[in-house]
Amino acid sequence: MAPFDLDACIEQLLKKQLLHETLLREICEKTKEVLMRESNVVHVSAPVTVVGDIHGQFYDLIEIFRIGGYAPNTNYLFLGDYVDRGLFSVETISLLTCLKLRYPSRVQLIRGNHESRAVTQTYGFYTECVRKYGSPHVWTYFTDMFDFLTLSVVIDNRIFCVHGGLSPSIHSIDQIKVVDRFREIPHEGPMADLVWSDPDPEKEDFAISPRGAGYTFGSGVVHKFLDQNGMSHILRAHQLCMEGYSSLFDKHLSTVWSAPNYCYRCGNSASILEVGPGESMFFNVFEAAPENDRDGPNQQSAQNASGKVIFIVLSIALTHISYLSFQNISFEPRLVHLQMINSRYQQLRYDTWIIYANLC
């Protein structure tokens, strides 16, 4: 039994109030004990509501609960990428961690490629923790906890759920069970592939990924994996879908995306997937939380913030590219078209700034 009131912690977070650093340390330690007992492949039963990337968009997470219901009345499976890019990663991961600890059998958290020390030091979570708490201690508590997150979930022995995709090193579910997950995400290998890989409708087999980590994989890989493991569907996140979701390979693979108006700029819809008994699957599409429901920055300041983040990301990425071949560094490439405007602030305007496989 936790030595603190989790219901009070959840209520405080829902009021948009940060938890104390000492309390977060205790919560992360207790959650690690819960996660340690879980397999690399967690089995759950329908009904369950599946949530894709959130990326620190806390007010949209609240919107998800408003639409889909709150735990424990609704069972939830989150597919990873809880932090980075959005302005409220601390609040987002704090709430999800409290919910996992409070309702461990009702809330499942899968590890995404952003649940990583290396990635969060570049894409916002580290900086946010230091800004909100005055030190990197909270970042350390959470990133240590990330090492304990499961890698996959199977729903009713028929739907394989993972953050990214498949791996040429993994042919069966049993092979996932023996992966050593209690560590930082490596630069290559089956664990990296599960969180980094992407489907490619133009491919049949595995191919090198433009991300610099993981692989792309085609219809032949998907059908073979499903046949060998007696399953009917692969469910994943990791890629922006302008309509909130997408389906490939004769609807044997689906991507769910749950961060609407991504980075406060993109204008995309989002969705959660409600998986019911039998073959029931319903994508519940929603838009960004209304402005008057937010206590955070207004639209203009959010746009300015996202512009600064992307500018920093591009600068770091270009620096890394120059010596990538000499160091064992994994980074996320960006394909971005930029137009320089507003010399007063030298801000960046994006005419087309998203290509699905290269932003998440």
Report the C-alpha gap between 85 and 71 in whole angstroms.
26
pLDDT of residue 278: 84
- Among residues 55, 114, 163, 233, which one is catalytic? 114
Distance of alpha carbon 360 from alpha carbon 351, whole angstroms: 19
pLDDT at residue 242, as a whole number: 98
**Cα–Cα distance list, 35 to 43, 162, 182, 222 (Å):** 14, 16, 10, 28
One DSSP character per residue, 297-317 reads --HHHHHHHHHHHHHHHHHHH
Separation of alpha carbons 160 and 152, rounded Å = 7
Contacts of 132 (CB under 8 A, 6+ apart): 18, 90, 138
Backbone angles phi, psi at 290, to 5 degrees: -60, 150
Helix (H, G, I), strand (E, B) or coil at 19: coil
Give the CATH number of domain 6-293.
Answer: 3.60.21.10
- The number of CA neighbours under 13 Å toward the Cβ of 264 is 27
Residue span(s) of the chain under CATH 3.60.21.10 come to 6-293
**Crossing angle for the helix pair 21-36 and 6-14, to the nearest 10 degrees:** 120
**Amino acid identity for residue 102 in this structure:** R
| Rounded CA separation 95/93 (Å) | 5
Return d(Cα 169, Cα 171) in angstroms, integer.
7
For 321, phi then psi, to 5°, come to: -60, -35
For the chain, what is the largest distance between any 2 Cα atoms, rounded to a whole number of angstroms? 60
Concerning whether 114 is annotated as a catalytic residue, the answer is yes
38 exposure class (CB count in 10 Å sphere: 0-12, 13-18, 19+): middle
Q: What pLDDT, on a 0 to 100 scale, did the predictor assign at position 359? A: 53
- Work out the angle at residue 224's Cα, subtended by the Cα atoms of residues 177 and 181, and round it to the nearest 5 degrees: 20
Report the C-alpha gap between 61 and 11 in whole angstroms: 14
Q: What pLDDT, on a 0 to 100 scale, did the predictor assign at position 4?
A: 82
Q: Is-contact 177 66, C-beta < 8 A?
A: no
Per-residue pLDDT, 295: 55
What string of pLDDT tens digits covers the 360 residues of the chain?
457 899 999 999 999 999 999 999 999 999 999 999 999 999 999 999 999 999 999 999 999 999 999 999 999 999 999 999 999 999 999 999 999 999 999 999 999 999 999 999 999 999 999 999 999 999 999 999 999 999 999 999 999 999 999 999 999 999 999 999 999 999 999 999 999 999 999 999 999 999 999 999 999 999 999 999 999 999 999 999 999 999 999 999 999 999 999 999 999 999 999 999 988 999 999 999 987 566 544 444 444 444 544 443 343 343 333 323 323 333 343 333 332 223 322 333 233 333 333 456
pLDDT at 322: 32
